Amino acid sequence: MTEQRTPAGLSEVAELDLKPALEAVLMVVDEPATEEHLAKVLARPRRAVADALRELADEYATQGRGFELRLVAGGWRYYTRPAYAAAVEGFVLDGQQARLTQAALETLAVVAYRQPVSRSRVSAVRGVNCDGVMRTLLQRGLVEEAGTEPETGAILYRTTNYFLERMGLRGLDELPELAPFLPEADAVEGESQEGVPSFDPDAIDGDDAHDDVEHRAGSGHSQTET
């Protein structure tokens, strides 16, 4: 009979108190850590890790700590508590504006709700050329390429896990309903199926040149945002 041995490193880790071990690991993660990964690293059953994580989250909330442990984008990570956002913003930004522009937020919203979507379709929905804004969102890791549209060959884009993390969402199904904010959304969606030619906002790159999209009211101009 062959004796099963636990590697020395894992054996030592398995002897550690679970909650402090989880805290130590979560202090150094740069993206949400899944329960499966944490269980493997700490040589513990997934159920034990999941229970400990939820207990830690409840303890932090009860104690009113300045941080909290959240389940976001399929994994766990520490976040500063919203009530102390002003203090954190003052320290990190030190008076500098590091937020997305209004144009970038609007473009990101279109991608989030209509993904996968091409740049020309995003531009048509917003009524302006979104090339520069899309490049910014790509550089910040909030959107990514998601293949091409079969009919036109246009590159399609979708939001990333980093987007979910920054928004504090477990998944896209937690995005708020559009109806309360955009009562005309159904009508706009209907128009988008009619195949109205776009003003070709991607002429420079040429990848979305023949994408058929709708024009919303006021989209007759073709200024470019950056």
Query: Is residue 201 assigned to a domain?
Result: no
**184 vs 154, more confident:** 154
pLDDT over 70 (residue 42): yes
Q: What is the pLDDT of residue 218?
A: 37
Q: What is the pLDDT of residue 107?
A: 93
Same domain, 126 and 63: no
Tokens of 177: 């309903």
Give me the long-range contacts of 55-59 (CB less than 8 A, separation at least 24). 55/19, 56/19, 56/22, 56/23
Q: What is the pLDDT of residue 54?
A: 97
CA 179 to chain centre: 21
Q: What is the pLDDT of residue 94?
A: 61
Domain boundary among 92, 110, 134: 92
Q: Is the peptide bond before 176 cis (omega within 30 degrees of 0)?
A: no
Same domain, 67 and 117: no
Query: Is residue 80 assigned to a domain?
Result: yes
Q: How confident is the model at residue 179 (pLDDT cuts 50, 70, 90)?
A: low
Same domain, 190 and 108: yes
Tokens of 196: 């109205």
User: 61-75, 94-108, 181-195: lowest mean pLDDT where?
Assistant: 181-195
Q: Rounded to 5, what percent of the chain is helix, strand, coil?
A: 45, 15, 40
Considering the chain, what percentage of its residues have pLDDT values greater than 70? 72
Q: How many domains does the chain have?
A: 2
- Which domain does 178 fall in, by range? 102-194
The CATH code of the domain that includes 168 is 1.10.10.10
User: 40-49, 112-121, 155-164, 197-206: lowest mean pLDDT where?
Assistant: 197-206
Same domain, 142 and 81: no
